[in-house]
Amino acid sequence: MIVCRYLGRSCVEIITDEDHLIIDPNYVESPKKGIDKLLLTHEHEDHLSPEKIRIIYEKYVDKDKGFKIFGPISTKDKVNINEVLIVVKDESKIEINSGRIEVFKIDCWKSEACVAYLITVDGKRILHTADSAKYSDRLRTIEKGIDCCFVATFENFYHDYLDFIKTIQPKLTIPYHFGPDKKQMGKNTAQFLEDNDVNVKYLDPGEEIIL
């Protein structure tokens, strides 16, 4: 069983019997204990909070499982704990206990370096796209039918999100990248996608799905 929790902003938590991942740890709702991998997409503070990283490390990490942090070069100086960040870039691969993670270069607004993560775990594929609306050709040509795709919620880019979703044809799309006071952004994006024949699910921060 794979539990996929949306923790607010762009923070996603993925929990399986053998792996426990956090992506973009500027969360609104707290994660669960037992984390062994932390994935950063880029350096912007709404995605990367040094304070939240410290809290995760002190309260939620399972250090016996060999905790590791991954991120692009733009995040290298943002980690303020006694762990070395492993720098990733386009085409990097990360091995996890029950699968793998593939890294894709992606264009995020005013970011020095940003990446998307395609997590394959227990036979399911989950795509985290940071807050991009400009997707690389390599990302657009991934194998169709991933199980869950997270997309951002900026109204100016609705049609960019839709074009990408129609291209990769995920089984389920979840809007994210909104704070606790901007839930309507997520709801509006979900409605737009649903109106355009996308299988979409809106999640409040703290809610989860089982894949």
Residue 209 forms part of a structural domain: no
Q: What is the DSSP letter of 147?
A: S
Domain presence at residue 188: yes
CATH of the domain at 196: 3.60.15.10
Tens digit of each residue's pLDDT (9 = 90 or more) over 45-91: 999 999 999 999 999 998 888 899 999 999 988 888 878 899 999 99
How many structural domains comprise the chain? 1
Given this model, what pLDDT does residue 83 score?
81
Residue 98 in any domain: the answer is yes
Q: Give bridge partners of residue 155 from the DSSP assignment.
A: none
DSSP β-ladder status, 173-175 and 93-96: unpaired
In angstroms, the CA 72 to CA 130 distance is 12
- The secondary element (H helix, E strand) that includes residue 202 is none
What pLDDT, on a 0 to 100 scale, did the predictor assign at position 174? 98
- CA–CA–CA angle 30, 32, 38 (5° rounding): 85
Has residue 23 been placed in a domain? Answer: yes
- The reported pLDDT for the residue numbered 66 is 87
In a domain, 37, yes or no: yes
List the domain range (segments joined by +) for residue 154.
Answer: 3-204
Q: Is residue 157 part of a domain?
A: yes
Residues of the chain with pLDDT under 70: none
Residue 89 lies in a domain: yes
pLDDT for the residue 116 = 98
What pLDDT does residue 84 have? 83
Q: 121: which 2 tokens?
A: 């775990």
Residue 39 lies in a domain: yes
pLDDT at 120: 98
Q: Is the pTM of this model over 0.85?
A: yes
